[in-house]
Amino acid sequence: MLTLTNVTKNFGGLKAIQSLNLEVEEGQIHGVIGPNGAGKTTLFNLITGFAHPTSGEMFFREGDISSNKPYQIARQGIARTFQNIRLLPGMTVSESVMSGQLNQRITGWKNHSTKNIRRAKKNVDELLDFFKLSPYKETFALELPYGLQRSLEIARALATEPKLLLLDEPAAGMNEQETEMLAEDIARIRGEGCTVVVIEHDMSFIMGLCDRITVLNFGMKIADGTGDEVRNNPEVIEAYLGK
Amino acid sequence: MDIIASPALQIIVGINIIMALGLFITVSAGQFSLGHASLAGIGAYISAVLTVNLHWPFLAAVIVGALAAGIFGAIFAIPALRTRGIYLSVLTLGLGELVRVFFSTFEYTGGVAGFGGMKGTTVGIVYLTLLFCLIAVGILMRSPLGRAFQTVAADEMVAEALGLNTVRLKVLAFSLGGMMTALGGALYAHFMFFIDPHSFNYNQSVFLLIFVVFGGMESMWGVVLGTLILTLLPEYFRGLDQWRMVIYGLVLIFMMAVRPQGIITKRLLRKVGRGFAYINKRNKELWRFESNSKS
């Protein structure tokens, strides 16, 4: 579904990503792990068009997205969340999720029809139900408890009706119970037919959840495979624990 | 209270609200423009040339002036694509001054001496236009396009990640907003009989922005109230001569210290809405109670 071939990204002299090959298959939950500074977030920024690769190519469902703008990529069906939660200040929970529906609705004047808007509202309500956010509909986004802020960000991303969802450290700062709920949510999102890529530090979380895991270190892929394969890979152990 | 009976003041209040609503559209997309008065100037000059030199009918000239200013608004948006926040404000300030200097040296419209002979604006026309603008802004803010503006204002990066073309939206916000402000400018020209480049300098741009911020830029009602108060205030204190601008300044300082978000906020509107809903519900319950006890 998503293919990266020989992607390299340099920031001046810093090689953030070095000739990376990555294949994300449809319907899977794909984990990306690695120590701090391994290039995980840079990878997401490249895929979503917030940064462009120095060299190499990226394909999404057969189309080249290497030089696309973020909004074009989003419209093609890739949605993302941010490492530091970015909620929309001044908007309520339902308004925030509605923002995600907009790109489906504002291309062309005929889409301003009441029927279209009614459908958008229905979609928003369904998403809020899905994430158990319905009781907070009219709450301002920034006033939500932390765990629900993460849920809201994911709901907003899903409102763009993506085929591929990129989650940047969704479990950061969550307690065990919240992490469990998040894992359930991610599994349910996959159940709805959306492929998911997760960046995470929490090893137990990612091992239990992902079908496939890619390990990055210093911008290079050092391992790729199922949880067990990755866990027993000597290079991975070295990167995480040192020699 | 007698000064509000003066038609001249009524017209100025109406025109100011129209111009501030225009800026409100641009601000709703997070673009704090300090050049909107010059867009009003473009609308004023173009419509004035059309009516005085080319003998166009008043209404057609006003509309064409506004549309033309919409194109200039889109040109204003070009720097907006690369700068944001305070830098954008300073840039639009510069662009506005550029327009003023252009009209100061442009012989065809009289240069610094100004341009005269326009007429036709009446209280009725101004308030009909205002009504139209209020309806238009009200619809816009609830429409997907208006919500997209608000998303861009809230967080550009998120807006982009949600599939919104922020470049196009910002250009549209400048263009649509500039159009409405220019509509006010064109009406102003045909009310004053005479315009010169100084009628549309940065001072006016700053006033417009203050109108929007003072009343609360979260809703158009804040803009209406802010403009109303700040236009009438100096008139009420006219008797105090030079002290009236001191009072004006003090009011602004007081507001920014006590209620920086403006008089009318979304939160306030919601509270009022809930209040009405509550009263309605209680009335219904009371009514039901009474009818039950009767039976």
Residue ranges per domain, chain A?
Answer: 2-87+146-241
Q: Hey, CA dihedral for B150, B154, B160, B166, is it positive or negative?
A: positive
Report yes or no: A106 at the B interface, CB cutoff 8 Å: yes
Query: Residue A40 pLDDT more than 70?
Result: yes
Q: What is the pLDDT of residues A7-35, one digit of tens each?
A: 999 988 888 999 999 999 999 999 998 88
Task: Report the chain B residue with the minimal C-alpha distance to residue A104.
Answer: B163
Taking the CA of residue A88 and the nearest CA in chain B, the distance in Å comes to: 5
Say yes or no for a CB contact (<8 Å) between A90 and B150: yes
pLDDT confidence tier of residue A201, bands split at 50, 70 and 90: confident
Interface test with A, best of B162, B165, B170, B265 (most A CBs within 10 A): B162
DSSP H helical ranges for chain B: 7-28, 36-52, 58-80, 85-105, 123-142, 144-154, 156-161, 166-192, 202-215, 220-236, 243-258, 266-294
Q: Are A65 and A1 in contact (CB under 8 A)?
A: no
Highest mean pLDDT among B105-114, B129-138, B281-290: B129-138
Given A95, A102, A138, which is nearest B162 (Cβ)? A102
Q: Are B191 and B198 in contact (CB under 8 A)?
A: no
What does the pLDDT read at residue A206?
87
**If DSSP states are collapsed to H, E and C, what string results for B103-170?**
HHHCHHHCHHHCEECCCCCCHHHHHHHHHHHHHHHHHHHHCHHHHHHHHHHHCHHHHHHCCCCHHHHH
Report yes or no: A237 at the B interface, CB cutoff 8 Å: no
pLDDT confidence tier of residue A43, bands split at 50, 70 and 90: very high
Architecture of domain A2-87+146-241: 3-Layer(aba) Sandwich (3.40)
pLDDT confidence tier of residue B282, bands split at 50, 70 and 90: confident
Number of residues that this document lists for chain B = 295
Report yes or no: B139 at the A interface, CB cutoff 8 Å: no
Question: How far apart are the C-alpha atoms of B49 and B65, rounded to whole Å?
Answer: 9
Report yes or no: B33 at the A interface, CB cutoff 8 Å: no
Q: What is the pLDDT of residues A99-133, one digit of tens each?
A: 998 876 665 555 667 777 788 889 999 999 999 99
Query: Residue B161 pLDDT more than 80?
Result: yes
B158 interaction partners in chain A (CB closer than 8 Å): 82, 86, 88, 99, 156
Report yes or no: A88 at the B interface, CB cutoff 8 Å: yes
CATH code linked to domain B2-263: 1.10.3470
Strands (E), A12-133: 14-24, 29-33, 55-60, 63-64, 78-80
Bridge partners of B161?
none
What does the pLDDT read at residue A111?
60
What does the pLDDT read at residue B293?
61
Say yes or no for a CB contact (<8 Å) between B147 and A74: no
What does the pLDDT read at residue A94?
92
Residue ranges per domain, chain B?
Answer: 2-263, 265-295
- Residues in Cβ contact with A69 at an 8 Å cutoff, skipping those fewer than 6 apart: A49, B160, B165
* Rounded (5°) CA angle B7-B11-B15: 175
Task: Report the chain B residue with the minimal C-alpha distance to residue A76.
Answer: B163
Question: How far apart are the C-alpha atoms of B260 and B249, rounded to whole Å?
Answer: 15
B140 interaction partners in chain A (CB closer than 8 Å): none
Residue listed under structure tokens 């012989």: B107
Question: Can you give the C-alpha Rg of chain B in angstroms?
Answer: 21
Q: What is the pLDDT of residues A136-177, one digit of tens each?
A: 998 999 999 888 899 999 999 999 999 999 999 998 888 888
Tell me the two tokens of residue B179: 């159009």
Say yes or no for a CB contact (<8 Å) between A70 and B161: yes
Q: What is the pLDDT of residues B204-254, one digit of tens each?
A: 999 999 999 998 888 899 999 999 999 998 888 877 778 888 888 898 899
Q: Hey, CA dihedral for B176, B181, B186, B190, is it positive or negative?
A: positive
Given B144, B158, B163, which is nearest A86 (Cβ)? B158
Report yes or no: B260 at the A interface, CB cutoff 8 Å: no
Q: What is the mean pLDDT of chain B?
A: 89
pLDDT confidence tier of residue B64, bands split at 50, 70 and 90: very high
What does the pLDDT read at residue A23?
92
Q: What is the mean pLDDT of residues B104-127?
A: 89
- Residues in Cβ contact with B54 at an 8 Å cutoff, skipping those fewer than 6 apart: none
Amino acid at A237: I
